[in-house]
Amino acid sequence: MNLVIDIGNSKVKFFLFENNKTIHKEICDNQDFKKTLDSISNKNNIKNVISSSVSSNYDLYIEESLNNSKYTSLSNDNLLIPFKNNYKTKKSLGQDRIALVSSAIYNYPNQDNLIIDLGTCITYDFVDSNKTYHGGAISPGFKLRYSSLNTYTSNLPLLELEETENIIGSTTNESIHSGIYNGVIAEVNNYIDLLKKEYPQLNVIIVGGFSKFLLNRIKNAIFANQDFLAQGLNYIINYNENR
């Protein structure tokens, strides 16, 4: 049994895999990480464990808590990943992005894949059909756009994300919603269109907590479930075990 841990900015997701299938999922707040990990490890016979983090580093605690399990660290320079990494600053490539690219290769092999993750930031990652990762782009996510308008202006309010059909806002609030919501959609669609000029058979995969707000607004895209990143991490475990 493999334990996969996805550590975000505010939440931690735990996944138990057996025979490449998710058999258990659990989510907790970051402050409950240690308690939840201990509970899961005490109840299950875990052979392998791997984690991806965009915030706190719990490597040492995980290794100590699951000392009878093999820990696969994404920070290990000797770790094998299932793609050729052409990113110029390899050490700065986020662990979540490594996991997402690995999952794209696992789920959609031999394709030109673009993975778009709509979280705190919007990340774009491109891996070609030869399993070569080229990089991508990073831009502010929905919440960052709302908070920046409020933080860096004198009079604009802090709003929560709302979907809108309106292009023209008739109030300040409506104008903010239109600018941010339609702006993100335009950005995503434009990025896809530009990349498709070079890779016409591009497979577009959209993930992340805010992806639901783009349903039916992005053409010919796959909206992946919350297991997608975890599948990539589980694939990395198996990839290293088989070598």
Query: 88-98: per-residue pLDDT in tens?
Result: 998 889 999 99
Q: Which position has the higher pLDDT, 91 or 158? A: 158
pLDDT digits (tens, 9 = 90+) for 13-27: 999 999 889 999 999
| pLDDT recorded at residue 243 | 67
State the pLDDT confidence band at 237, using cuts at 50, 70 and 90.
very high
State the pLDDT confidence band at 54, using cuts at 50, 70 and 90.
confident
pLDDT (average), residues 229-235: 96
Neighbours of 239 (CB within 10 A): 18
| pLDDT recorded at residue 77 | 82
| pLDDT recorded at residue 91 | 86
| pLDDT recorded at residue 62 | 87
Q: What percent of the chain has pLDDT over 90?
A: 71
The four Cα atoms 199, 98, 92, 60 give a dihedral, to 10 degrees, of: 180
Asked if pLDDT for residue 177 goes beyond 90, the answer is yes
Asked if pLDDT for residue 31 goes beyond 90, the answer is no
HEC letters along 75-121: CCCCCCCCCEECCCCHHHCCHHHHHHHHHHHHHCCCCCEEEEEECCE
HEC letters along 187-198: HHHHHHHHHHHH
Domain ranges of the chain: 1-77, 80-243
Q: What share of the chain is helix, strand, coil (3-state, %, to 5)?
A: 40, 25, 35
State the pLDDT confidence band at 182, using cuts at 50, 70 and 90.
very high
| pLDDT recorded at residue 158 | 97
Given this structure, which CATH class describes domain 80-243? alpha beta
Active site residues: 96
Given this structure, which CATH class describes domain 1-77? alpha beta
Side-chain-side CA neighbours of residue 61 (13 Å): 12
Neighbours of 93 (CB within 10 A): 19
132-140 and 84-85: which strand pairing?
parallel
| pLDDT recorded at residue 11 | 85
State the pLDDT confidence band at 104, using cuts at 50, 70 and 90.
very high
Asked if pLDDT for residue 143 goes beyond 90, the answer is yes
* Common-topology check for domains 1-77 and 80-243: yes
State the chain's mean pLDDT as an integer: 92
Q: Which residues of 114-143 are buried (b: 16+ CB within 10 A; e: fewer)?
A: bbbbbbbbbbbbbbbeebebebbeeebbbb
Of the candidates 127, 93, 130, 104, which has an alpha carbon nearest to the alpha carbon of residue 206?
Answer: 104
